[in-house]
Structure 1
Amino acid sequence: MNPSISQKERIISLDIIRGLALFGILFANVRGYPTFTEDPIVLNYGGINHLIDTLIPIFIEKKFFSIFSFLFGVGFYIFASRAESRGDKPRWRFTRRLLALFFIGVLQLGPYFGTILPAYALIGLLLLPFYKASVSTISKWLGGITGIYIVSLILRIAFGDSAFLEYIGNDQTLIFIMFLAGFLVAKADWIRRISELKKPIYWIQLVTLPIFIGFSIWIWVAPDHESNYIIALGTIPTFLFYITTLFLLMENKAIRTLLKPVARVGQMALTNYVSQSMIGLFIISLMGMESPPYMISPVHVVVVACLVFIFHLIVSSIWLKFFKRGPLEILWRFMTYGKQTIK
């Protein structure tokens, strides 16, 4: 970030942002943890439930998993470049890492069918051709794919859905956009130069903040059958506002110190993501909300999400006092490298 911030502190900052992304993902995923045998019953909530049910799509839905996806792209470049510096084969090593992630994700399908890990692994393969590409080339591809994605969403809102528009304007496309954006930012070394880039960052915030406000109002008043497309359309500008704000906040040492426990959650991101669904479902069962589905109200979503995150804060802090990595991170590393020693 700025020259006075060490490499270790930069990694901590990324872990803090990753931990916050996991917290946001909880709010979006809690209702999907139980597996129901009946069709879900949709209720029209009032009072505080209605407020929360409106605020989650505005501030959280798709935004935090976009941040998480962006950091995956950052991680790909860091991982591959380190592998290359050791004389390893970066593309092959990352492919093996993705295959391991796919395997872990498939195992998670049992307790939580909504896991994103298998999709992450498969979409991550699309990053391999970009490893040796220039920043300029990656930027052009990113701009083109993002443009197609945005146009497809606008057409879906204006003229209705179609198989073709759904194919090019879905969540998988958004994930790849975020992967590629994270990879570009890491390759261009912008994360290390936040202090130098404050002026363009402020301009990004100046442009995206009113767009975010506009989409928030639109989502608030939009009919339910249109809201999903509007949420998706507003995700990229909202993501840009969020991620630039977070990077600027991480420049402040006091804030980094205050949020250091969150960094431990982010450091164990794979373990904590996989365990979210199991811990959340356990809490839901204890509260008697696992069936029927309409009993998981927006207030319950907030309660469960906060309880799971508090659990992760405590357990991650304790675990990392004795181990360098989380349990699934250790497994993932072994599946990536085998028994060879990696510094």
Structure 2
Amino acid sequence: MNPSIPQKERITALDIIRGLALFGILFINIKGYIILMEGTEIPVYTGINEVIDTLILIFVEKKFFSIFSFLFGVGFTIFASRAEKRGDKPLRRFARRLLAMLLIGIVHFLFFWGTILPFYALLGFFLLPFYRARVATVSRWLAGITGVYLLALIVKLTGGLSSFSNVLDNIGADSTLIFIMFLAGFLVAKADLIRRVSEWKKQIRSVVMGVVPIVAGFSIWIWYASQSGAENVKLIVSLSTIPAVLFYVSSLFLLMEHERIRSFFQPVARVGQMALTNYVAQSFLGSLIISLMGLETVSPVNVVLIACLIFFVQIIYSNLWFKFFAMGPLEKVWRFMTYGKQKAKKTNSLQT
């Protein structure tokens, strides 16, 4: 979510990947758009529903909100560095931006209990101390936190240190994963790697090829664990997330180096360009569709159908919107809350 980049300076690949991340998030959030009443039976899925449910677990669960978190970290770097170049106080401005997101998120929470916006805003404050740090320092912190996170998951998976179960749960929580992705995105942008993908193609390809067998191994493990009804499936999914995200993001950046592929995905870039608006809108569109369909529970088949329908609507809406306006409606509100009336006008004039 980064509406503050001038159109001529936007990195199209980031908007495309952000749009795709929003699509992936839908597959997880849709079930949360319906409030289950006490006593509602959750059906046991069989056949095609069982297959789709397992595939979502393998390829989507935790992966796409992690990609979204990675891009949040990228956005922090871009936003703060641009603020500093304008002579603004980057950390104070970003802190105000986070407070604005927190307020928007609280309002969104009234309509959708699963919103990530307040959570992102609060975790985002932990990025502030890293802004002035050197790339090497951030790298060490990222490696250390990632190592502790993975170790906690492995210990939980093996059943060790049961007396420290609560501590391990906190370390291996999604909040830690989100912050790891925040920090990874911040590091990649700080090192200016996103603008230099073409220079690092060989290294990125090596990373992709290196993680392919890891991702494949985890996919097979999750499949069999899910089919056997193993209790530790969620832990395996958590362990698989970092290599999977590394594979997804690296592959997508390589693909976006091809002009034809970028052109094909340009409509998706518009969805990512107004990510805040579209993320919030998804919960309302999802709830409306579920209500119109009269669903008490949402099967995996329905998840796929509803996700595709919502995303198709958002592609059309986003592309039409940008024919008339420079930024999304909630992005404009967010900018106003970040800069105030006079600052917002000044910033807009600099970016047109």
| TM-score (norm. length: structure 2) | 0.92
Amino acid at match of 1:156: K
Amino acid at match of 2:131: Y
2:336 to 314, 334, 337: 334
Find the aligned partners of 1:211 and 1:250 in 2 and give their Cα distance: 23
Partner of 2:4: none
Closer, same or farther: CA 220–317 of 1 in aligned 2, 3 Å: same
**Superimposed CA distance per residue, residues 143-198 of structure 1 (whole angstroms, 9 cap, x where no aligned partner):** 00000000011111111771101111100000000000000000000011111111
Find the aligned partners of 1:10 and 1:335 in 2 and give their Cα distance: 22
Closer, same or farther: CA 77–9 of 1 in aligned 2, 3 Å: closer
Find the aligned partners of 2:201 and 2:123 in 1 and give their Cα distance: 31
Closer, same or farther: CA 201–40 of 1 in aligned 2, 3 Å: farther
1:319 to 318, 321, 345: 321
Amino acid at match of 1:43: P
Partner of 1:235: 241
Partner of 1:219: 222
Closer, same or farther: CA 253–40 of 1 in aligned 2, 3 Å: farther
Find the aligned partners of 1:127 and 1:106 in 2 and give their Cα distance: 21
SS in 2 for 1:225: coil
Contact 1:81–1:90, Cα closer than 8 Å, also in 2: yes
Contact 1:13–1:256, Cα closer than 8 Å, also in 2: yes
Matched, 1:288 2:297: no
Partner of 1:181: 184
Amino acid at match of 1:269: A
SS in 1 for 2:323: helix
Deviation of 1:10 after TM superposition, in Å, equals 5.5
SS in 1 for 2:37: coil
Deviation of 1:39 after TM superposition, in Å, equals 5.3
Higher deviation after alignment, 48-57 or 222-231: 222-231
Amino acid at match of 2:48: I
Partner of 1:3: none
Closer, same or farther: CA 310–171 of 1 in aligned 2, 3 Å: same
Percent of paired sites with the same residue: 62
Closer, same or farther: CA 65–334 of 1 in aligned 2, 3 Å: same
SS in 1 for 2:326: coil
| TM-score (norm. length: structure 1) | 0.95
Amino acid at match of 2:84: E
Partner of 1:30: 30
Amino acid at match of 1:214: G
Partner of 2:41: 41
Higher deviation after alignment, 36-45 or 169-178: 36-45
Contact 1:270–1:328, Cα closer than 8 Å, also in 2: yes
Higher deviation after alignment, 247-256 or 154-163: 154-163
Matched, 1:142 2:142: yes
Partner of 1:259: 265
Task: Please tell me the root mean square deviation across aligned C-alpha atoms, in Å.
Answer: 1.3
SS in 1 for 2:114: coil
SS in 2 for 1:322: coil
Higher deviation after alignment, 310-319 or 155-164: 155-164
SS in 2 for 1:264: helix
Q: After TM superposition, list the pairs within 5 Å mapping 1:8-87 onto structure 2.
A: 8=8, 11-38=11-38, 41-87=41-87
Deviation of 1:9 after TM superposition, in Å, equals 7.3
Partner of 1:210: 213
Deviation of 1:24 after TM superposition, in Å, equals 0.4
Structure 2 unaligned blocks of 5 or more: 1-6
Find the aligned partners of 1:191 and 1:21 in 2 and give their Cα distance: 17
Partner of 1:153: 153
Closer, same or farther: CA 312–62 of 1 in aligned 2, 3 Å: same
Deviation of 1:303 after TM superposition, in Å, equals 0.6
Q: After TM superposition, list the pairs within 5 Å mapping 1:81-100 onto structure 2.
A: 81-100=81-100
Deviation of 1:41 after TM superposition, in Å, equals 2.9
Closer, same or farther: CA 251–39 of 1 in aligned 2, 3 Å: farther
Structure 1 unaligned blocks of 5 or more: 1-6
Closer, same or farther: CA 336–172 of 1 in aligned 2, 3 Å: same
Matched, 1:197 2:200: yes
Amino acid at match of 1:94: F
**Superimposed CA distance per residue, residues 67-122 of structure 1 (whole angstroms, 9 cap, x where no aligned partner):** 10000000000000000000000000000000000000000111110000001000
Partner of 2:254: 248
Deviation of 1:199 after TM superposition, in Å, equals 1.6
**Superimposed CA distance per residue, residues 12-68 of structure 1 (whole angstroms, 9 cap, x where no aligned partner):** 211000000000000111111112232553332121111101000100111111110
Amino acid at match of 2:212: L
SS in 1 for 2:250: helix
Higher deviation after alignment, 137-146 or 162-171: 162-171
Find the aligned partners of 2:203 and 2:40 in 1 and give their Cα distance: 46
